[in-house]
Amino acid sequence: MKVRRFYDIFRLRLRSLLGKTAVESELDRELRFHFDQLVQENIARGMPPTEARHAAMRMIGGLAQIQEECRDMRRTNQLETIWNDLKYAVRILSRTPGFTAVIVLTLALSIGANSAIFSVIEGVLLRPLPFAHPERIVRIFLTSDTYPKFPLNPNDFRDFRSRNRTFDSLAAITRQDVQLSGAGEPVMLRAFEVTAGYFRVLGFTPARGREFTTTDELPEHGRLAILSDRFWHARFAADRNIVGRSITLNAVPFTVVGVMPPGVQHPGNDYHAVPDGDTVDVWYPFTFEGSPNNRGSHFMDGIGRLKPGVTPEQGNADLSGVLNQLGNEHPGDKGWHIYLVPLFREMVGRTQRMLFVLLGAVGLLLLIACVNAANLLLARSSVRQREIAVRSALGASRTRIVRQLLTESLLIALAGAALGTLLALGGVRALVFLLPPGFPRAAEIHLNLVVFGFTLLIALLTGLLFGLVPALAAARTDIQQSLREGGRASTGSQRQVRVRDVLVVGETGLACVLLIAAGLMLHSFVNLLRADPGFRPQQVLTASISLPRQQYHDGPQRSRFYAQLIDSVASLPGVRSAGMGTDLPWTGYDENTGFDVEGRSAAANDNNSARYHAASPDYFHALGVTLLHGRFFTASDDAKATKVLIVNEAMARRYWPGADAVGKRITFEDHPKEKDWVRVVGVLGDVKDQADSLAGHPAFWWPLAQAPFPDVSVAIRAQGDPVLLTDQLRTAVKRLDPGLAVADVRLMKQIADASVATQRFSLFLVGLFAALALVLATIGMYGVISYSVSQRMHEFGMRMALGAKPGDLMRLILGQGVKRALAGAAIGLLCAAALARLLGNLLYGVSGADPVTFFAVAVLAIATAAIACYLPARRAAGADPMHSLRTE
Amino acid sequence: MSKRSDLIQGTLDLLILNTISLEPQHGWAIAKRIQQVSNEVLQVSQGALYPALHRLEQQGWIRAEWRVTEAGRDAKFYSMTKAGRTQLQKELAQWERLSNAVGQVIRMLPEAAS
């Protein structure tokens, strides 16, 4: 019924507006019918026809007035007014196309920027995660004094799974890429070992086949695979009979038991991280092997779905209880605490600050554009004073005039929003392209209805905001004065001039805030690039190789392969040095182990921990890591030689403070014999943990020949362009083993660049917005100064006639601009100083009150103000005084 | 013009709605009917009637359509919508409350004064 009523009302309003003639003639006919009835009644009472008509006419009274009232009731008039206002606004605005274009363009740029940034925020932060009831999913980590966020141990996980009371389901995953061979080139697949029920945690069910069960977790049962929809299409042409078929992974047959539906997303993981999204090719069951009492090795990412109504805190408390029990049963589990993170925070939490900084930046930009538009409209409204005075003299009420002027500003804002949306269409695509690698949910960012709604909303708000001040100011115009001043360019009331001054000072201030944010980020970025990372990423080619355990089951086999490969690559022309290691800097590698330092008490050794790596002799040369003391590994540090290791400076300083670490010994055994002691032979300069971390993490290296891990990274330092060595590396590997895939071929420089991508991305955008803000502020300043100069030409003429030099006038006018810029800059610097803290980790090696940046921005603000004033000042100085005096 | 008793603000809507709740009527008939039923006490002027009709139509309480009268002329007939019927119930209840209240006050006052 309600709906019906609103439909009726809508239909009638529309008819009143569009079918105006029909409605009018109906009204006519209706009233005429009434009139005729009156006449007839009068005749029936015995009046002669003519008199009857006259009496009826008297009775019905002002016919026109009734009609007008009916029209009012139909809201026709209101709609018509709006329509007329719009038509008038279009006419007025198209009379000054340059002026209109400047406002519309500046608004379009800032509204477009807002839409684009908002679409990122909408896609990443506002939209629910692509899992069923995502608010119940949590990630599970361990935490300790030394390790804030640590992966789980598989046996601990199994106990969590069986003893918890707050989870619907609990799973653990660990990345273990596999090599697919068979038809065609061998390829490395993104693969995860997962425990039973992993997909149930996320809320997915296989499109074909089944999920893994706990039986699949038993040794020798786990040679099963579930394929992603994308991989099933790409590699198996969406073969409907794939379930039950066998594929070869790591040279071993695996049976496909399921295919996931499209839209299944990896939730992201921490250990050997793979970005979230459709990023995984294959899942296979995790196998629980070895002693269930092994609680030392941690390599699994835990994830769980809480029971409905259970809070993450309750889940945390529940698992902490289990962990306490485990601590009593297994000494290795002591010292750890549960660290539960809601999936949403884990996936997108780290982007929040950057996105809000960007939103703040575009918000400021929009505010500046508003102030700018208000300023320009004010300038124009003083030109239009006469028109407005005439209209109010003819009876237009103040509200009527305010409404007319607001219609104009809303029209401008909507035009800006329309154009801005077009800009945002391109802008969003560019944004997604520029996003730092691994940015969560990047695939979900696009313009949609929510973003369009947001754009419309800010357009309306903007229109009201920048239209209100000029409209109110204009409506306050003193009619008499404006009309009396007649054709003379009216001076604009003193109040208006002051309002415009305030606006331009505010605009400069806001622009300074943005400029300072950009400046601080630029300074940080320069610091980042200048900071010594501890290695030299230039001219290094990297790749990763994984030796299948089935073919290379023992250490000597792997060592032999590595030695052969290094030999053949190192002898290639153009190669300076070639090395291999477990990992490369800044790739997220984080494997740690405990150990005992010789000569320290058992208690002191309890919490020892350092990151472990293995490296071939030339690995450090190839990456350009410096040696501080002792020696690098040599070819003679092989399996038969005494065990040695190299530590970094952070480890040397922590465990042998004030002493030379070279020659000291550590052990990994609880009851070491003489041969179990490993001697430190060298100390390396620290490699920073991440591009933006201030120090290195304690770490040591085994010789790769003494610790031949099956997964290695290759680093080759070239004499010339390292890219040219790619094919030769592939050929070298193929010659040794045609079944091996060479994966992740990248330049070390790319890895290094990627690690500062977040900073670069936000610097680029904030810098862009700040530049726009500066342009807007300059336009505003130019508008104000140029207007004031045109108003004072008479005065200047007088001054010149009285002996002022052109230079004096220049100085006077420039002084005006600089004074305003100084005031603006002062306000801006104060605000920026208060706000700089919000930039947080986007800054590096720079304090929020960085004097260099603040000084540079102040100078920039004053310099651009001077530039903005220059043209008007020259006009004033160059004018012929006689001419100026005569025109007034 | 004949003497007219002023209608309390809003009661015209009530009278119109009530009049057409029985059967669709045109404006002339509505005015006549109110006049007759009230024994010529309530006179609805055209200047008030037609704007009110158009307002009620705009609010979706009544609906208009052109029909032929018994005398064979085209006239705009107004009829009740479902929403209008609910509205009438509301206004009737409100009127009852108001007139009761006024009546009570009028009856009480002389006693209180004496």
What is the tens place of the pLDDT at every residue in A655-676? 999 899 999 999 988 888 888 8
Which residue, A365, A191, A366, A354, is CA-closest to A285? Answer: A191
Tokens in use for B56?
């009620």
Which residue, A567, A568, A551, A716, is CA-closest to A179? Answer: A551
pLDDT tens digits, A384-436: 777 777 777 777 777 878 888 889 999 999 999 999 999 999 999 999 988 88
What is the structure's pLDDT at A25?
82
Interface of B with A in 84-103 (CB under 8 A): 86
Mean pLDDT score of chain B: 81
Contact status, residue A630 vs residue A682, Cβ threshold 8 Å: yes
Contact status, residue A70 vs residue A30, Cβ threshold 8 Å: no
What is the structure's pLDDT at B8?
61
Which residue, A572, A575, A570, is CA-closest to A721? Answer: A575
Chain B residues near residue A62 by CB distance under 8 angstroms? 47
Dist. CA B43–CA B15, nearest whole Å: 11
In chain B, the residue whose alpha carbon lies closest to the alpha carbon of A61 is: B47
What is the structure's pLDDT at A623?
95
Dist. CA A171–CA A199, nearest whole Å: 9
Dist. CA A126–CA A129, nearest whole Å: 9
* CA dihedral (A793, A798, A799, A803) positive or negative: positive
Contact status, residue A150 vs residue A172, Cβ threshold 8 Å: no
Cβ distance B75 to A65 less than 8 Å, yes or no, reads no
Contact status, residue A510 vs residue A368, Cβ threshold 8 Å: yes
Dist. CA A7–CA B83, nearest whole Å: 12
pLDDT at B73 over 60: yes
Instruction: Kindly give the parts of chain A with pLDDT less than 50.
Output: 486-490, 888
Which amino acid is it at A572?
L
Distance of CA B50 to the CA centre of its chain: 12
Contact status, residue A579 vs residue A614, Cβ threshold 8 Å: no
Measure in Å the smallest separation between the Cα of B96 and chain A Cα atoms: 26
Contact status, residue A421 vs residue A115, Cβ threshold 8 Å: yes
What is the structure's pLDDT at A477?
64
Any B CB within 8 A of A15 CB: no
Measure in Å the smallest separation between the Cα of A404 and chain B Cα atoms: 26
Tokens in use for A797?
């003429």
Sequence-distant (≥ 6) Cβ neighbours of residue B35 within 8 angstroms: B42, B43, B44
Angle at B40 between CA B34 and CA B42, to 5 degrees: 55
Main-chain dihedrals φ then ψ at residue A243, nearest 5 degrees: -65, 130
Any B CB within 8 A of A1 CB: yes
Which residue, B70, B30, B85, B21, is CA-closest to B52? Answer: B30
Q: What is the CATH number of the domain that holds B81?
A: 1.10.10.10
Dist. CA B45–CA A587, nearest whole Å: 88
What is the structure's pLDDT at B1?
33
Instruction: Look at the block and give the residue holding tokens 């941690």.
Output: A298
Cβ distance A66 to B50 less than 8 Å, yes or no, reads yes
Cβ distance A9 to B59 less than 8 Å, yes or no, reads yes
Angle at A762 between CA A761 and CA A766, to 5 degrees: 125
Dist. CA A424–CA A414, nearest whole Å: 15
What is the structure's pLDDT at A390?
79
Contact status, residue A52 vs residue A42, Cβ threshold 8 Å: yes
Measure in Å the smallest separation between the Cα of A38 and chain B Cα atoms: 9
What is the structure's pLDDT at A270?
84
Instruction: Look at the block and give the residue holding tokens 């929003």.
Output: A417
Tokens in use for A229?
């929809």
The answer to whether residue B3 is domain-embedded is no
Which amino acid is it at A833?
A
Measure in Å the smallest separation between the Cα of B54 and chain A Cα atoms: 6
Which residue, A763, A821, A877, is CA-closest to A519? Answer: A763
Angle at A431 between CA A425 and CA A433, to 5 degrees: 110
Tokens in use for A505?
């000072």
What is the structure's pLDDT at B9?
56
Any B CB within 8 A of A72 CB: yes
Chain B residues near residue A59 by CB distance under 8 angstroms? 1, 46
Cβ distance A58 to B82 less than 8 Å, yes or no, reads no
pLDDT tens digits, A453-466: 999 999 999 999 88
Which residue, A349, A252, A808, is CA-closest to A550? Answer: A252
Rounded to a whole number of angstroms, the distance between the first and last alpha carbons of chain B is 42
Dist. CA A515–CA A767, nearest whole Å: 7
User: B62 is in which domain, residue-wise?
Assistant: 11-113
Any A CB within 8 A of B36 CB: no
Dihedral of the CA atoms A439, A441, A447, A449 (nearest 10)?
-150
Chain A residues near residue B52 by CB distance under 8 angstroms? 73
Q: What is the DSSP pairing of strand A191-194 with strand A282-285?
A: parallel
* CA dihedral (A97, A103, A109, A115) positive or negative: negative
pLDDT tens digits, A565-603: 999 999 999 999 999 999 999 887 888 888 899 988 877
Dist. CA B87–CA A272, nearest whole Å: 68
pLDDT at B3 over 60: no
Main-chain dihedrals φ then ψ at residue A326, nearest 5 degrees: -60, -35
What is the structure's pLDDT at A488?
45
Q: How many domains does the structure of chain B reveal?
A: 1
The answer to whether residue B2 is domain-embedded is no
Dist. CA B27–CA A56, nearest whole Å: 16
Q: DSSP character for B50?
A: H
Interface of B with A in 54-73 (CB under 8 A): 54-55, 57-60, 63, 66, 73
Cβ distance A33 to B82 less than 8 Å, yes or no, reads no
Angle at A660 between CA A658 and CA A665, to 5 degrees: 115
Dist. CA A60–CA A62, nearest whole Å: 7
The answer to whether residue B4 is domain-embedded is no
pLDDT tens digits, A99-146: 889 889 999 999 999 999 999 999 999 999 999 999 999 999 999 877
Main-chain dihedrals φ then ψ at residue A665, nearest 5 degrees: -130, 150
Coil/strand/helix, residue A628: strand
Cβ distance B75 to A33 less than 8 Å, yes or no, reads yes
Contact status, residue A559 vs residue A571, Cβ threshold 8 Å: no
Dihedral of the CA atoms A277, A281, A284, A286 (nearest 10)?
-50
Q: How far is CA A235 from CA A175, A187, A193, in A?
A: 21, 11, 20
The answer to whether residue B98 is domain-embedded is yes
Dist. CA A543–CA A712, nearest whole Å: 9
Q: How far is CA A291 from CA A193, A415, A515, A670, A819, in A?
A: 19, 70, 60, 17, 78
Query: Each residue of A69-82: b (16+ CB within 10 Å) or e?
Result: bbbebbbbeebeee
Sequence-distant (≥ 6) Cβ neighbours of residue A253 within 8 angstroms: A223, A246, A247
pTM above 0.90, yes or no: no
Coil/strand/helix, residue A253: strand
